[in-house]
Amino acid sequence: MSARIEANGLEDVVAATTRLSDVDGEHGKLVLAGHSVEDIAGHVPFEDALFLLFRGTLPDAAERASVRDALGEAREAAFERLGELGDALALPDAMDALRASVAHLGARSGEEPLAEAIRIVGAIAVFAAAWSRGASPVRPDARLSHAADYLRMVSGRAPSAAQVAALDAYLVTVVDHGMNASTFTARVVASTASDTVSAVVAAIGALKGKLHGGAPGPVLDMLDAIGSADAARDWVSQALARGERIMGMGHRVYRVRDPRAFVLERAIAGLEAASDAGSSIGQRLRLARAVEKEAETQLVARHPNRPLKANVEFYTAVLLEAVGLPRTLFTPTFAASRAAGWCAHVEEQRRHGRLIRPKSRYTDAAPFAAPAPAAR
């Protein structure tokens, strides 16, 4: 008989084997299908990361072009369906709108897994951008890369090469990350032999929460509220005294600084270098670094045995703002990339997994002993 493991939050429970990514929380290493995150993020476009998850190698030029073309077609197809989404895109919260609009995508039996992922990933970018534009969505341009077209569909303007490069770095960085809550959610749904769209819809719901993908908007709110580096100390100590969590700090797995924070910082610095002298990006980056330092110092003092350092969301907030995305789109943009990881995990789960069905421990009273029925 197997040993009973009880873990509130399931940490240390291995729920799947995967070749998609490996998170080493002690040493702060993230491997994406055989590549260190810092070796590919900032060096290859999102199309390559998507291909990598499904095929296990980085694409050659022809393969990259075919993913790019297929994503362009998927964006166009999704745009044609905008009129059929009912009031999904009128929902005030972007993640509610994304969840409702993705739910309109049909399951197609027998669809090739990479093609299915491309269909879903392409649609997410279009639905998120269309939500942000309200009554005037921008038609996709299938000739552009996914990152470039996403920025264009949101802003209505052609993005700079530096903005596209920074967004690509972000999308590659967050494409997959072990058994995080939304990926686990997708796997649970897939394990019941349900379809990929259902798994993605459920995962969007999990990603929405501020303990997972909902943190970067609040990180920016925090930076706005702090305003300048010299106000960081008081602001952080007052927030902690009120019992609040500092958004963008701490992680379930990492006991050192999240390696993705380094990669994103590097991408922001690249964008700053390519920007006009008067750009606010450098100022924001300096403020973020000062707040991170202060938060880390105060969190060490409060939790000497529990390292709480910057996670991916801290610099996500700075990067997504720097490429010109509104903060309401931060979590949908996370979903636009992570959906590739969800779909790849769904495929793995289907091939190798069993129904995921843990136990619970009942703590309430035993049933009342029913009185014996009266003899007739």
Contact between 245 and ligand COA per CB under 6 A: yes
Stretch that binds ligand COA, among 80-88, 229-237, 306-314, 340-348 (CB under 6 A): 306-314
Contact between 293 and ligand COA per CB under 6 A: no
Contact with ligand COA (CB under 6 A) among 107, 115, 161, 211: 211
State which amino acid sits at residue 327.
Answer: R
Give the three-state DSSP class for 119: helix
DSSP readout, 311-367? Answer: -HHHHHHHHHHHTT--GGGHHHHHHHHHHHHHHHHHHHHHHH-----------SPPP
Residue 345 bears catalytic tag:
no
Stretch that binds ligand COA, among 18-26, 240-248, 261-269, 276-284 (CB under 6 A): 240-248
Judged by CB under 6 A, how many residues of this single chain contact ligand COA? 18
Contact between 308 and ligand COA per CB under 6 A: yes
- Taking the complex as a whole, the smallest distance from the CB of residue 224 to ligand COA amounts, in Å, to 17
Contact with ligand COA (CB under 6 A) among 52, 197, 247, 319: 247
Q: Which residues contact 298 (CB under 8 A, 6 or more apart)?
A: 233, 236, 237, 240
The Cα 282–Cα 324 span in angstroms is 14
Residue of 212, 251, 265, 292 marked catalytic: 251
Q: Would you say 88 and 137 are in contact if contact means Cβ atoms under 8 Å apart?
A: no
Residue of 313, 321, 347, 348 marked catalytic: 313
Stretch that binds ligand COA, among 184-192, 278-286, 300-308, 325-333 (CB under 6 A): 300-308
Contact between 13 and ligand COA per CB under 6 A: no
Contact between 248 and ligand COA per CB under 6 A: yes
Contact between 28 and ligand COA per CB under 6 A: no
Contact with ligand COA (CB under 6 A) among 52, 215, 339, 340: 215
Contact with ligand COA (CB under 6 A) among 236, 246, 267, 320: 246
Residue 313 bears catalytic tag:
yes
> Exposed/middle/buried for 165, CB within 10 Å: 0-12, 13-18, 19+?
buried
Contact between 312 and ligand COA per CB under 6 A: yes
Both structure tokens of 168: 């690509």
Both structure tokens of 134: 């309200």
The Cα 329–Cα 27 span in angstroms is 31
Give the three-state DSSP class for 235: helix
Q: Which residue blocks in the chain are alpha helix, DSSP H?
A: 37-40, 46-55, 61-80, 94-102, 113-133, 146-155, 161-173, 181-191, 196-208, 216-226, 232-241, 259-273, 281-302, 312-322, 330-352
Contact between 265 and ligand COA per CB under 6 A: no
- Taking the complex as a whole, the smallest distance from the CB of residue 24 to ligand COA amounts, in Å, to 16
Contact with ligand COA (CB under 6 A) among 313, 321, 347, 348: 313
Going across the sheet that includes 21-24, the strands are 21-24, 29-32, 35-36
Give the three-state DSSP class for 300: helix
Stretch that binds ligand COA, among 14-22, 187-195, 241-249, 282-290 (CB under 6 A): 241-249
Which residue has 């091939």 as its token pair?
351
Q: What residues act catalytically?
A: 251, 313
The footprint of ligand COA (CB under 6 A) covers: 9, 211, 215, 245-252, 299, 303, 306, 308, 311-313
